[in-house]
Amino acid sequence: MTIDDLILYGKKYVHKDHVFLLLSELLKINILDIFNHLEDKVSSKNIERFKKQIALLKDGKPIQYVIGSVNFYGYNFFINQNVLIPRFETEGLVLETYKLIKANFKNKNLKILDLGTGSGVIGLTLKKLEPNFQIDLVDISEKALEVASYNCKKLGVDANIIKSDFFENINSKYDVIISNPPYIKYDEEIEDVVKNNEPHIALYAKEDGLYCYKQILKNISNHLNSKYIIAFEIGMTQKKDVENLINKYLKFSQIYTKKDLNNRDRYIFVTNFE
Domain range list for the chain: 3-59, 82-271
82-271 carries CATH number 3.40.50.150: yes
The DSSP output letter for 63 is: H
In whole angstroms, give the CA distance from residue 223 to residue 206: 24
- Give, for all 274 residues of the chain, the pLDDT tens digit: 999 999 999 999 999 999 999 999 999 999 999 999 999 999 999 999 999 999 999 999 999 999 999 999 999 999 999 999 999 999 999 999 999 999 999 888 999 999 999 999 999 999 999 999 999 999 999 999 999 999 999 999 999 999 999 999 999 999 999 999 999 999 999 999 999 999 999 999 999 999 999 999 999 999 999 999 999 999 999 999 999 999 999 988 999 999 999 999 999 999 998 6
In whole angstroms, give the CA distance from residue 150 to residue 20: 26
Q: Are strands 265-271 and 224-233 parallel, antiparallel or unpaired?
A: antiparallel
The set of residues, in sequence order, having a beta carbon less than 8 Å from that of 173 and lying 6+ positions away, is 111, 222, 223, 224, 225
Residue 274's pLDDT is 65
DSSP E strand stretches across the chain: 69-72, 75-78, 111-115, 134-139, 160-163, 174-179, 224-233, 254-259, 265-271
Q: Where are the alpha helices (DSSP H) in 79-186?
A: 88-104, 121-129, 142-155
Residue 48 has a CB neighbour count (10 Å cut-off) of 10
